[in-house]
Structure 1
Amino acid sequence: MKLLSVSLLLVLCSAVVTDCKPFELVSNIYSTVSDVVKAKLRIGSRLISNVPVLLPSFEEISEFGKQTILSYPLEAITAGIHTFCSAAVATNGTEPLFEPDLSRMNYVLMTDSGNYSYSLDHYEELWNSSFFSHQLNTVVLVTGWLTTINDANEAVDALYKAYRTRGTINFIVIDTASHLNTLYTWSSFNTNNLGESLGDGLAKLVQYVPVESIHLIGHSLGAHIVGAAGRRFQELKGFNLPRITGLDPANPCFNEGESLSGLSRGDADLVDVIHSNVRVLGKRDPIGDIDFYPNGLNSIQPGCYTIICSHSRAWEYYAESVYPGNERNFIGVKCNGLSALISGLCRRQKAVMGYAVSNNVRGNFFLRVNSDAPFGRKDVY
């Protein structure tokens, strides 16, 4: 049978191709078949050798169970709220309970000697204050729903403490008073107005300090407020703020292209985002120039058993990265997902997440984190 097949090929070769070399043709055919067989054997060998890697570990099985029990039902509930809120936004069917009263909201300059408050609509009092230094870098932090400076605000305390380890700095917190303590939908409607007010103040600030010294940080709804501030600043000044960091930007009610679009790339020269509670309280889609996904697209972070814990992890990761020596605690790899990263299927382009973020790369980066502090695993890939 083999001889007959070869004979037929030789006949066809001679009949169709004038310069046919029959024996060279037969040699090439056998060489190709041999290469295919060898390739199949190599693939089979690699699959067998990688069986221990491909099989899920006990930790991975446990993580899957936690996500299934704790996060997936909450994702479904949040999706319903998001759909309802988005429909209300699109039809202007919902209005805030009240418009922001700037006289009741404050810039709070935190120092070791105490906190100093200045009304949001009297920002120049702060920029001219003897407690505010024109020679120092300025960080402006805006927190989220149901938090104020008067509360025992863990995020504010942790970030201020972390930044103080780097020397003196103008550390300012926006105290939104009761304006983000109303029904969530009303609170979300207030983010644009509050952000524009902050943008007005920052447009005046650059008359006193170089724009390169300003960094805005926002957590949850606060991320969308600083995004609106960046857009307002650009409108007034014609150039961008250098950097805005979004810490698990709020998910419900915010859609790109709508009136509540929220934080997005372009709001500053660099918009870096840490997603820690995707599809529930935090957004899943990449919205920055560089987006980091610790623990991938899982809603519950390692060591957490509630969505609040996972939502807070974003600022905890960031605060850890601020401490000297921790700048490279969190290294992400450009990838399509965490499982692909773990399997070694991703490109090797890496980026630093947090305080010393890589500002020369763009895209989505995935990384693994620890269950307890220190959360960063450094460069373990």
Structure 2
Amino acid sequence: MDQRLNLIGLLQLLLLATSGNGLEWTVPDVVSSIKNVGSSIIDPKLLPTPQSLLEGSKQLLVGLPFEYVSSSINYICSQALSSNKIKSKFTPDITKMNFQLRTACVRTSFPLLEAEKMWNSPSFDPTKRVVILATGWTTQVNDTETIDKMAQAYNCRGDSNFVALDAASFVDTLYSWSAFNTDEIGLHLAHGLVKLLDVVSVDKIHLIGHSLGAHIVGAAGRYMQQLTGKMVPRITGLDPAKPCFNEGETLSGLLRGDATFVDVIHSNPGVLGKRDPMGDVDFYPGGLSALPTGCITVTCAHARAWEYFEESIYPGNERNFMAIRCSSIQGLRKNKCVGDDYPMGIAAPPSLKGNYFLDINAAKPYGKLSSSQRSARLLNCGECA
């Protein structure tokens, strides 16, 4: 183990021992740890830099406690689901759910069960692909930054019809109730997709979901296979929600096999987002840290997944985020990962398999291969003129 990291581990242990978080560290525990890393503090060259101390403390004081809370919520929710005694207070009603077609200047809603009507809308281009986005907890279709920014990016790109799933109030309630609803909302979305297939070829459909939305589109992909025997070519999961979703349990959430190609971006692993691989390819920008560089809150980290993807949508940005198959971010930084690099985001090749790591910038533009000049030129692209 790197000696500098040993010292950081000691400092973190000392912080844990005095942080009042309920962990029962004793003086002998700390003394023993000091002995284990004693060699690290003899040579001044091995002392951590101020930046490494800041990063280590940030992960400890902000990311780690929330990970314990998240795991506790996950356990309680799993027990509730397995008991079959707790149901959502608000049962999804498909008649209240819509597709909202977004152009730069117009928003047009169509009931899920009348999705084929989009074909006749002057805002719909049948020659283009259809991208459908489902967002997460406490989001609403007309007041959500995720939808607004993604719509702008796709309208700038110009090669797709961008559609947002309007799930009414069924993910805008208590988190556990919202989580319980994801499977049924996914079934309703699948019925809407079946209607859409009357006018759009399945190979033109791309489903994207952030947080709880990732599990909604995963369920939609599975149900559409059952209903039609057809498979959506691509589902993209953007930091799929962790609490309540566990493979093999009542709510499995998004899984590889829900589409021909499932790609996942993890930006808040282990806290609000899932840590374990879930797709054909899983990207870990910044590694497995709960907080990517530039974030000091878990909500910031959770949002980064869609922000990374949004950046990659703009013309010229497709290769902003280049990732290499690896087992850790440390291996990547030490040049121990072999193989070619591939883009994370809109241009991710459907042949990719495995776990891919990459570094990112702390502020926009986030991609290491991004261009500030190009970002400035694209700032208003996709907006209503």
| TM-score range normalised by the length of the shorter chain | 0.7 to 0.9
In structure 2, how many angstroms separate the alpha carbons of the residues matched to 1:200 and 1:52? 65
Q: Which runs of 5+ in 1 are unaligned?
A: 1-50
Could you say what secondary structure the match of 1:341 adopts?
Answer: helix
Give the direction of change, closer, same or farther, for the CA distance of 1:375–1:52 in structure 2 (3 Å limit).
Answer: farther
CA-to-aligned-CA distance 1:167-195 (integer Å, 9 cap, x gap):
25311101112111111111111001111
Match of 1:366 in 2: 357
In structure 2, how many angstroms separate the alpha carbons of the residues matched to 1:145 and 1:331? 30
Query: For residue 245 of structure 1, what is the amino acid of its counterpart?
Result: T
In structure 2, how many angstroms separate the alpha carbons of the residues matched to 1:56 and 1:275? 27
In structure 1, how many angstroms separate the alpha carbons of the residues matched to 2:61 and 2:130? 42
State the TM-score, normalizing by the size of structure 1: 0.82
Q: How does 1:64-213 map to 2 (within 5 A)?
A: 64-151=56-143, 153-167=144-158, 169-213=160-204
Match of 1:282 in 2: 273
Q: Is the 8 A contact 1:255 1:261 kept in 2?
A: yes
In the TM superposition, what is the alpha-carbon distance from 1:280 to its structure 2 partner? 0.8
* Higher deviation after alignment, 154-163 or 58-67: 58-67
In structure 2, how many angstroms separate the alpha carbons of the residues matched to 1:188 and 1:260? 8
Match of 2:25 in 1: none
In the TM superposition, what is the alpha-carbon distance from 1:232 to its structure 2 partner? 0.8
CA-to-aligned-CA distance 1:280-311 (integer Å, 9 cap, x gap):
11000000000000111101121111111100
Could you say what secondary structure the match of 2:307 adopts?
Answer: helix
In the TM superposition, what is the alpha-carbon distance from 1:53 to its structure 2 partner? 11
* Higher deviation after alignment, 356-365 or 217-226: 356-365
In the TM superposition, what is the alpha-carbon distance from 1:263 to its structure 2 partner? 0.4
In the TM superposition, what is the alpha-carbon distance from 1:127 to its structure 2 partner? 3.9
CA-to-aligned-CA distance 1:232-257 (integer Å, 9 cap, x gap):
11112212110000000000000111
Correspondence 1:353 to 2:324:
no
CA-to-aligned-CA distance 1:101-129 (integer Å, 9 cap, x gap):
12222111112331111122332333443
Query: For residue 124 of structure 2, what is the amino acid of its counterpart?
Result: F
Could you say what secondary structure the match of 2:81 adopts?
Answer: helix
Percent identical pairs in the alignment equals 50
Q: How many residues align?
A: 328
Q: Is the 8 A contact 2:113 2:195 kept in 1?
A: no
Q: Is the 8 A contact 2:116 2:199 kept in 1?
A: no
Give the direction of change, closer, same or farther, for the CA distance of 1:329–1:71 in structure 2 (3 Å limit).
Answer: same
Match of 1:310 in 2: 301
Q: How does 1:26-65 map to 2 (within 5 A)?
A: 57-65=49-57
Match of 1:247 in 2: 238
State the TM-score, normalizing by the size of structure 2: 0.81
In structure 1, how many angstroms separate the alpha carbons of the residues matched to 2:236 and 2:47? 37
Match of 1:292 in 2: 283
**Aligned counterpart in structure 2 of residue 330 of structure 1, from 307, 321, 324:** 321
Q: Is the 8 A contact 1:53 1:343 kept in 2?
A: no
Q: Which runs of 5+ in 2 are unaligned?
A: 1-42, 371-385
In structure 1, how many angstroms separate the alpha carbons of the residues matched to 2:244 and 2:119? 34
In structure 2, how many angstroms separate the alpha carbons of the residues matched to 1:198 and 1:56? 51
Q: Is the 8 A contact 2:103 2:155 kept in 1?
A: no
Correspondence 1:234 to 2:225:
yes
Match of 2:9 in 1: none
Match of 1:223 in 2: 214
In structure 2, how many angstroms separate the alpha carbons of the residues matched to 1:83 and 1:139? 34
Give the greater-gyration-radius structure (CA).
1
* Higher deviation after alignment, 111-120 or 256-265: 111-120
In structure 1, how many angstroms separate the alpha carbons of the residues matched to 2:256 and 2:45? 37
